[in-house]
Amino acid sequence: MALAPRSLKALEGVHPDLVKVVKRADELGARFHITDGLRTEERQRQLVKAGKSKTMKSRHLTGHEVDFVVAEPGGGVSYDHAGMKACAAVFKQAAQELGVAIEWGGDWKRFVDTPHIELDRKVYKESGAIVAESKPNSVPEQPKSVIPTAEKPLAQSGTIWGTVAGTMAAVGAFFEQSASAVIEWAAKLAEFGPAQSALASMGGNIKSITLGLGIGSAIYVISRRVKAKQEGNPG
């Protein structure tokens, strides 16, 4: 028995898995009509107001349930419990063949609803089908503007320190030459060995100190330039 046009109309908007179960039950020989499928909120509100439904959270609103009635041979319909139960058994058989989880309202304890067939709530959540949840198109994150901050040349670059060290070396060299000249002049003026020896020793110490300053300055300049290069800053 092919589904009547009114049944096909009622299946519009119903979840595809439930539609498959209904059509397979028809192929297996069940005789029924689908009386209700997807509902609008306005329709659901009318039914609640009329006392024909008890909730505004009906799964008719999401297409997860249908209502049916037994079709009698003479063209009439029947809500007789035995007939509804037999028809529901065919729905269950069809669902099992297709691997679709359904529930029949006639099996409920608190509120028996024999015309009711729905997709199992444990498998088919309120959001609908067993499919990945759609996500809104993501907007690429705009790069955050970077506010330039004042650089710290003394901490990031060896350029200034190189200048300072060079100046120190130059001052040291000038001091060394001046001191040597003074020592030689004083030694000639004194013209005796102990004083000349002491002054010569003083000159040697001054030379050592100046040489040490120059070497230390050079090492410091080189280390600062290496660090500046590692930081990606000009040396």
SS3 66: strand
CA distance 16 to 31: 21
User: What is the reported pLDDT for 159?
Assistant: 46
User: What is the reported pLDDT for 75?
Assistant: 86
Q: To 10 degrees, what angle do helices 16-27 and 81-98 make?
A: 110
Rg for the chain, CA atoms, rounded: 49
User: What is the reported pLDDT for 100?
Assistant: 96
Strands 102-104 and 116-119: antiparallel
CA distance 233 to 154: 12
Strand-pairing partners, residue 78, are: 70
pTM, whole model, 2 decimals? 0.53
User: What is the reported pLDDT for 192?
Assistant: 44
Dmax (CA) for the chain in angstroms is 151
Per-residue model confidence as pLDDT tens for the chain (235 residues): 689 999 999 999 999 999 999 999 999 999 999 999 999 999 999 989 998 888 888 899 999 999 999 999 888 999 999 999 999 999 999 999 999 999 999 999 988 999 999 999 999 976 544 332 333 443 434 444 444 444 444 344 444 545 454 555 555 555 555 555 544 544 454 454 454 554 455 555 555 666 666 676 666 656 666 565 555 544 4
Strands 77-78 and 116-119: unpaired
User: What is the reported pLDDT for 180?
Assistant: 54
Cα-Cα-Cα-Cα dihedral sign, residues 181, 182, 186, 187: negative
Helices (H), the chain: 5-10, 16-27, 41-49, 81-98, 153-156, 159-190, 193-230
User: What is the reported pLDDT for 173?
Assistant: 53
